[in-house]
């Protein structure tokens, strides 16, 4: 059955203005939603990412690798779930109940290939998510960029620290849900020229953020695109 | 140059426990590993002047191993001493052993119950947290000599009793883990209220948080590890507001809640969720639940007192303690009024006759009921040793007079 990745982007600035009691209520609603998803046969994987301020973005600048510290502009990827479903509509139905704080956006994208290793945070060591990003003027050339990265990298992962990963279909094959003032709107996955678009996500167990950045620096990902590195939250 | 030395000092501190952990197994003792690490740091200073290596930890590990090999050749380290730490399988470390396995072994050795609690704390701060003896001495307000003696004695005990360098078997794990968590909790508590000097020492609390976070990485399926992390994070989030601008104690009811660290509260709440998911009813998890009620309450009055009361009852049912019962009395007072609070205190006087907070609390309840509280405040003052708390009590005595 096809797999879909639900990417939850949240405004960290809006989150920081929540009163602690509201924050607790939101976390509890999110946790209840997650428990519900986990209980479904359709549930494949899901993780929460530590704040973007603790993350790094590695790309190729004019004079070699460029490493930027987060935050990277709003909204930021905060969590993801992976669900099996017959079609996109079935996933959208499940996503409708997902608690969305102000400024949040949810993206649903079909998984093109690859696989997940659930329970990544139940093992020893720190696990980092690497989001593969590509910028291009239109979706066709973005797909070309992702194809190039894919061709160069698809068997270049060191075996031991690798904890699974996937490539996603282009945004036009997915949907985006925004919430404004309590109302939700679903869009066909728009391709925004101004934004770096996620083409895939993979995971590695690394001793430290520095080690993850070192690895990224020497990888082929940053020759054509960029990698955003974020530690997984044990929660 | 000064800046570079500073950067190197940062790296050394950050990487020390990982590098030492890797070396201990290879070299057979904590002493040998620390010595080799020090040599590697000395080698790093001139070498790194022209640029830091891509992976400083790996650089230091290799340099330390090289040094140890040379040293062994001169019969200084390995041959001269019998191995301090015995392994079941001495031959070669298994290929699957990662740095985190080594670190975990080191923590369990440093917190072995055969060592005194003071020694466990000193050794853990030195070897696992990477503090210097001088820093530990300053944090605990005792002479450096005392700390270095403690550490030497601990290492000697490890040698004489041949304490194994290993993670305990499943069966022993809960008990041994309790001893590791007790050490981290003690570090945190020592930072939270000290007997002398300033009311809190944030650096010790930050060390405790760092140690607890490391344990979360190493033991991701142990509920109490996350309970302890949550407890520390939720208390630390409120630490800044525990004192006023003169360093004087502020009660929870008087604190400026808008200054609490929301990111830290969130971190604590998320860890608490994981603790719950993993089973979650241990001592630390329950204390973290209580702390979470305080950390998320908009005001002192608008706090979930009934929930806090239930949590204290759970805590007391697990492990009766007069100090916990004293805290419960505060919740009783807030939930059912000061008369009920006084009633809850009645049974505790015998057990807490030398505890200043008992009398401070009874004085507070009595003055809320319009009763004479002077004697109780005086008793509290005569028993308190922290200067900030003493100033607070003197202020109260002036008020009731």
Tokens 């009311």 belong to residue: B199
Instruction: Between A117 and B246, name the one with better pLDDT.
Output: A117
Distance separating alpha carbons of residues A46 and B392, to the nearest angstrom? 50
Residue A125: per-residue pLDDT:
86
Chains A–B, number of C-beta pairs less than 8 Å apart: 72
Residue B95: per-residue pLDDT:
41
Range with the poorest average pLDDT among A152-161, B102-111, B127-136, B232-241? A152-161
Residue B192: per-residue pLDDT:
65
3-state secondary structure chain B: CHHHHHHHHHHHHHHHHHHHHHHHHHHCCHHHHHHHHHHHHHHHHHHHHHCCCCCHHHHHHHHHHHHHHHHHHCCCCCCCCCCCCCCCCCCCCCCCCCHHHHHHHHHHHHCCCCCCHHHHHHHHHHHHCCCCHHHHHHHCCCCHHHHHHHHHHHHHHHHHCCCCCCCCCCCCHHHHHHHHHHHHHHHHHHHHCCCCCCCCCHHHHHHHHHHHHHHHHHCCCCHHHHHHHHHHHHHHCCHHHHECCCCCECCHHHCCHHHCCHHHHHHHHHHHHHHHHCCCCCHHHHHHHHHHHHHHCCCCCCCCHHHHHHHHHHHHHHCCCHHHHHHHHHHHHHHHCHHHHHHHHHCCCCCCCCCHHHHHHHHHHHHHCCCCCHHHHHHHHHHCCCHHHHHHHHHHHHHHC
Tell whether A18 lies on the interface with B, counting CB pairs under 8 A: yes
pTM: 0.87
Peptide bond before residue A75 is cis, with ω within 30 degrees of 0:
yes
**Contact between A22 and A33 (Cβ < 8 Å):** no
Residue B172: per-residue pLDDT:
86
Residue from the list A125, A210, A214 with its beta carbon closest to the beta carbon of B98: A125
Contact B265 A23 (CB under 8 A): yes
Chain A positions touching B261 (Cβ under 8 A) are none
- Per-residue pLDDT tens over the stretch B276-285: 999 978 999 9
Contact A214 B55 (CB under 8 A): yes
pLDDT at B107 over 70: yes
Chosen for mutation from A13, A15, A16, A124 (greatest number of chain B CBs closer than 10 Å) is A124
Chain A positions touching B19 (Cβ under 8 A) are none
Residue B89: per-residue pLDDT:
38
How far does the CA of residue B373 sit from the closest CA of chain A (Å)? Answer: 35
Chain B positions touching A21 (Cβ under 8 A) are 296-298
Tell whether A125 lies on the interface with B, counting CB pairs under 8 A: yes
Residue B75: per-residue pLDDT:
53
- Per-residue pLDDT tens over the stretch B129-157: 888 888 888 777 788 999 999 999 999 99
Residue B216: per-residue pLDDT:
94
Which residues 200-229 in chain A show a CB within 8 A of chain B? 207-208, 210-211, 214, 217
Tell whether A126 lies on the interface with B, counting CB pairs under 8 A: yes
**Contact between B207 and B190 (Cβ < 8 Å):** no
Contact B220 A27 (CB under 8 A): no
Tokens 């010595």 belong to residue: B35
Confidence band of B239 (pLDDT split at 50, 70, 90):
confident
Chain B residues near any Cβ of chain A (below 8 Å):
18, 54-57, 98-101, 104, 216-221, 226, 257, 260, 262-263, 265-266, 269-271, 273-274, 292, 295-298
Mean pLDDT of B5-9: 75
Spell out the domain ranges in chain B: 1-83
pLDDT at B369 over 90: yes
Mean pLDDT of B365-394: 92
Beta strand A183-188 pairing with A175-180: antiparallel
Chain A positions touching B217 (Cβ under 8 A) are 124-126, 234
Contact B296 A210 (CB under 8 A): no
Chosen for mutation from B22, B58, B262, B289 (greatest number of chain A CBs closer than 10 Å) is B262
Distance separating alpha carbons of residues B72 and B35, to the nearest angstrom? 12
Residue B129: per-residue pLDDT:
86
Domain tally for chain A?
1
Tell whether A54 lies on the interface with B, counting CB pairs under 8 A: no
Residue B88: per-residue pLDDT:
39
pLDDT at B215 over 80: yes
Residue B59: per-residue pLDDT:
84
pLDDT at B93 over 50: no
Contact B262 A207 (CB under 8 A): no
In chain B, the percentage of residues whose pLDDT exceeds 70 is 90
Distance separating alpha carbons of residues A217 and A200, to the nearest angstrom? 18
Distance separating alpha carbons of residues B17 and B107, to the nearest angstrom? 10
Distance separating alpha carbons of residues A171 and A174, to the nearest angstrom? 5
Mean pLDDT of B214-222: 92
Contact A19 B298 (CB under 8 A): yes
Question: Residue A227: exposed, middle, or buried by beta-carbon count in 10 A (0-12, 13-18, 19+)?
Answer: buried
* In this structure, CATH architecture of domain B1-83: Orthogonal Bundle (1.10)
The separation between CA B344 and the C-alpha centre of its own chain, rounded to angstroms, equals: 30
What ipTM score was computed for the predicted complex, to two decimals?
0.91
How far does the CA of residue B271 sit from the closest CA of chain A (Å)? Answer: 6
Residue B92: per-residue pLDDT:
39
Q: Which two tokens stand for residue B290?
A: 């209580």
Contact B260 A126 (CB under 8 A): no
Distance separating alpha carbons of residues A82 and B39, to the nearest angstrom? 49
**Contact between A188 and A175 (Cβ < 8 Å):** yes
Chain A positions touching B296 (Cβ under 8 A) are 20-21, 23-24
Residue B2: per-residue pLDDT:
65
Tell whether A32 lies on the interface with B, counting CB pairs under 8 A: no
pLDDT at B112 over 90: yes
- Per-residue pLDDT tens over the stretch B60-85: 888 888 887 777 776 555 545 545 55
Which residue segment(s) compose the domain that A207 sits in?
3-233
Confidence band of B199 (pLDDT split at 50, 70, 90):
low
pLDDT at B47 over 50: yes
Residue A181: per-residue pLDDT:
63
Along chain A (235 residues), what's the average pLDDT of each consecutive run of 10 residues?
95 86 94 93 94 94 86 90 95 91 90 92 91 93 94 81 94 88 79 84 92 90 93 90
Local structure of A32: helix, strand or coil: helix
Contact B260 A125 (CB under 8 A): no
Confidence band of B200 (pLDDT split at 50, 70, 90):
low
Contact B273 A27 (CB under 8 A): yes
Domain of A229, CATH number, reads 3.30.70.1060
| DSSP, res A117 | -
Backbone Cα Rg of chain A: 17
Residue B5 contacts by C-beta under 8 Å, 6 or more apart in sequence? B45
E strand or H helix that includes residue A153: helix A139-153
Instruction: Nearest chain B residue to A126 by CA: give it.
Output: B217
Mean pLDDT of B74-101: 51
Mean pLDDT of B105-132: 90
Residue B90: per-residue pLDDT:
36
Residue A77: per-residue pLDDT:
94
Average pLDDT along chain B: 85
Residue A182: per-residue pLDDT:
67
- Per-residue pLDDT tens over the stretch B176-190: 999 999 999 988 887
Residue B322: per-residue pLDDT:
92
Contact B100 A23 (CB under 8 A): no
Residue B82: per-residue pLDDT:
47
How far does the CA of residue B273 sit from the closest CA of chain A (Å)? Answer: 6
């Amino acid at each position: 059955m096809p797999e879909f990745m639900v990417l939850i982007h949240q405004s960290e600035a809006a989150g920081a203005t929540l009163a602690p009691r509201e924050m607790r209520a939101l976390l509890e609603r999110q946790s209840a939603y997650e428990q519900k998803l986990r209980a479904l046969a359709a549930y494949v994987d899901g993780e929460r990412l530590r704040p973007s301020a603790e993350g790094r973005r590695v790309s190729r600048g004019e004079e070699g690798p460029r490493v930027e510290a987060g935050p990277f502009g709003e909204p930021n990827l905060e969590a993801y779930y992976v669900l099996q479903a017959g079609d996109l509509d079935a996933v959208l139905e499940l996503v409708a109940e997902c608690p969305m704080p102000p400024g949040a956006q949810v993206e649903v994208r079909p998984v093109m290939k690859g696989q997940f290793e659930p329970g990544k945070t139940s093992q020893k060591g720190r696990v980092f998510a690497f989001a593969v990003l590509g910028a291009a003027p239109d979706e066709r050339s973005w797909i070309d960029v992702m194809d190039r990265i894919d061709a160069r990298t698809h068997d270049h992962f060191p075996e031991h620290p690798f904890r699974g990963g996937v490539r996603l279909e282009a945004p036009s094959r997915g949907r985006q849900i925004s919430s404004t003032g309590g109302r939700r709107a679903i869009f066909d996955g728009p391709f925004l020229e101004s934004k770096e678009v996620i083409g895939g996500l993979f995971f590695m167990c690394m001793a430290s953020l520095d080690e993850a950045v070192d690895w990224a620096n020497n990888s082929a990902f940053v020759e054509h695109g960029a990698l955003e590195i974020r530690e997984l939250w044990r929660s | 140059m000064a800046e570079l030395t500073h950067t190197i000092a940062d790296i050394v501190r950050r990487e020390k426990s990982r590098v030492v952990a890797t070396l201990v197994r290879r070299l057979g003792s904590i002493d040998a590993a620390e010595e080799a690490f020090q040599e590697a740091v000395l080698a790093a200073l001139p070498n790194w002047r022209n640029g830091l290596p891509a992976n400083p930890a790996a650089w230091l590990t290799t340099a330390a191993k090289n040094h140890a090999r040379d040293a062994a050749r001169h019969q200084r380290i390995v041959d001269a001493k019998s191995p301090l730490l015995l392994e079941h399988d001495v031959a070669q470390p298994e290929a699957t052993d990662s740095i985190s396995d080594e670190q975990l072994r080191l923590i369990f050795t440093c917190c072995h119950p055969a060592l005194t609690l003071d020694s466990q704390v000193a050794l853990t701060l030195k070897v696992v947290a990477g503090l210097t003896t001088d820093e530990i001495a300053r944090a605990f307000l005792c002479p450096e000599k005392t700390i270095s003696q403690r550490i030497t004695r601990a290492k000697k005990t490890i040698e004489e009793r041949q304490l194994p360098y290993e993670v305990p078997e499943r069966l022993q794990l809960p008990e041994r883990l309790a001893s590791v968590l007790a050490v981290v909790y003690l570090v945190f508590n020592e930072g939270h209220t000290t007997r002398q000097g300033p009311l809190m020492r944030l650096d010790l609390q930050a060390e405790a948080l760092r140690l607890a976070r490391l344990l979360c990485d190493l033991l991701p399926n142990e509920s109490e590890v996350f309970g302890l992390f949550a407890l520390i994070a939720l208390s630390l989030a409120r630490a800044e507001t525990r004192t006023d601008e003169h360093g004087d104690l502020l009660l929870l009811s008087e604190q400026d809640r808008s200054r609490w660290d929301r990111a830290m509260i969130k971190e604590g709440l998320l860890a608490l969720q994981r603790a719950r998911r993993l089973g979650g009813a241990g001592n630390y998890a329950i204390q973290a639940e209580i702390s979470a009620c305080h950390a998320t309450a908009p005001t002192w009055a608008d706090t979930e007192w009934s929930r806090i009361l239930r949590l204290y009852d759970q805590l007391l049912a697990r492990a009766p303690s007069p100090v916990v019962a004293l805290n419960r009395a505060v919740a009783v007072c807030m939930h059912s009024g000061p008369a009920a609070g006084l009633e809850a205190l009645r049974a505790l006087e015998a057990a807490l006759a030398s505890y200043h907070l008992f009398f401070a609390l009874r004085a507070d309840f009595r003055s809320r009921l319009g009763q004479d509280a002077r004697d109780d405040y005086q008793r509290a003052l005569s028993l308190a040793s922290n200067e900030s708390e003493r100033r607070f009590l003197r202020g109260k005595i002036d008020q009731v007079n």
